[in-house]
Chain A
Amino acid sequence: MSLRLHAWLLGLLVAVAAMAVAAQPAGDMSPLQFQDRAEESRFQHLTAELRCVMCQNQSLADSNAQVAQDMRREVLALMRQGRSDAEIRQFLVERYGEFVLYRPTMDRHTWLLWFGPGVVLLAGTFVVWRIVRRRAAALAAQSGPRGEPAPGTPERPEGDQEW
């Protein structure tokens, strides 16, 4: 019984694995050969910054997809042709779009991506600053004698609605 279950589970696993690679052609899976350490580290550095187009949550360096293999080969070939990192990135962007870059270029249509979080942070800081200042003023007015706000703070009724 348990043996049967095992066989069944194994069959399921194989089927799932087959499904996962369904849209992937079989190809040469041999690892790339590097001439030296410098080339290898440059290659690793470059491919870690590039996104696999088939499996978008993996970098080109990590992915086992056939396309990623092909792209890695191309990256190495371009490196050996003496192209710079920027040229290699440009080569892939021309073909696959800016999605291949984990670090998008600073551009007209990416400024929100780059500065959006900073803008939100600044807005939040401003709001907090306003609240803190008003509470401090209200506290000062409360602790001071009634009707006589502490010097330096503008007179304002409690529960002021000014935002």
Chain B
Amino acid sequence: MSTPPPRRPGLPPVAIVIGALFFIGLVGLMLYGVVRSGASDRDVLPSALIGKPAPEFVLPVLHDPSVQFGAADLRGAPYLINVWGSWCAACRDEHPVLTAFAQTKRVRVVGYNWRDEPEDALRWLDRYGNPFFVVVADKEGRYALDWGVAGAPESFLVDAQGQVRWKFTGPLTDEVVKTQLLPVLDTLERAQ
């Protein structure tokens, strides 16, 4: 009969298990960070407006500045409001997607021309097409703060009662329209 080897006075197994779990958790967290760093919406802030009434605005229409158009004129049916500018390269990228969505005629697509020169904006629309129901021009950025706009493009879905239901920061893609916008729109229409 051999004597068992003397046990080394070391860490108890519980400590080792806890340490290992801690280490694995830390590695997992770092891995999550690495994976997340590639996501295009990494810096996107959640909108504070979701579920709240859309901010009021009254702005001149881009194509006829003598006409004032506001949020009150849009009440009664849902609409998608898209913040864009002719200076914004990403807006050009999303334009075909926005146009395709507007052509389905499910909701009105309103253009919010932000901090832009009217001539530049009109030329931009001539060149790339105008999918908008109406375009309002906020040359001084008067109401952009109320909408919580940080950059362009940004899109908001507002329901018939004037409540903001969905917001997307950055250029819309077919994927975003299919997986986010359309499902929200479906629930809106079912509720009516």
- Spell out A's residues near B (CB within 8 Å): 22-27, 53-54, 56, 66-67, 70-71, 74, 93-99, 138, 158-163
Q: Which of A26, A27, A70, A159 contacts B145 (CB 8 A)?
A: A70
Specify which chain B residues have a CB less than 8 angstroms from the CB of A96 in the assembled complex. Answer: 45, 48, 148, 150
Shortest B4–chain A CB gap in Å is: 12
Number of interface residues of B (CB under 8 A): 32
A163 pairs with B150, CB closer than 8 A: no
A158 pairs with B150, CB closer than 8 A: no
Shortest B187–chain A CB gap in Å is: 23
Q: Does B87 contact A (CB under 8 A)?
A: yes
| B-side interface mostly | loop
Specify which chain A residues have a CB less than 8 angstroms from the CB of B149 in the assembled complex. Answer: 67
A23 pairs with B152, CB closer than 8 A: yes
Specify which chain A residues have a CB less than 8 angstroms from the CB of B188 in the assembled complex. Answer: none
9 tightest Cβ-Cβ pairs between the two chains A and B: A25-B115, A97-B48, A53-B150, A95-B148, A163-B14, A159-B9, A161-B12, A23-B151, A22-B89
Q: Does B116 contact A (CB under 8 A)?
A: yes
Q: Which of B14, B47, B85 contacts A161 (CB 8 A)?
A: B14
A95 with B146, Cβ < 8 A, contacts A22-B88, A158-B9, A159-B8 known: yes
B135-192 contacts to A, CB under 8 A, are: 141, 144-152
What is the chain A residue whose CB lies nearest that of B46?
A: A97
Specify which chain A residues have a CB less than 8 angstroms from the CB of B144 in the assembled complex. Answer: 67, 70
CA distance A163 to B47 in the complex (A): 47
Interface string of B1-36 (1 = CB under 8 A from A): 000000111101111000000000000000000000
B88 pairs with A23, CB closer than 8 A: yes
CA distance A98 to B85 in the complex (A): 27
Q: Which of A26, A97, A98, A163 contacts B87 (CB 8 A)?
A: A26
Specify which chain B residues have a CB less than 8 angstroms from the CB of A162 in the assembled complex. Answer: 12
Q: Does B49 contact A (CB under 8 A)?
A: yes
Shortest A23–chain B CB gap in Å is: 5
Shortest B12–chain A CB gap in Å is: 5
B85 pairs with A25, CB closer than 8 A: yes
A23 with B148, Cβ < 8 A, contacts A138-B9, A159-B7, A162-B12 known: no
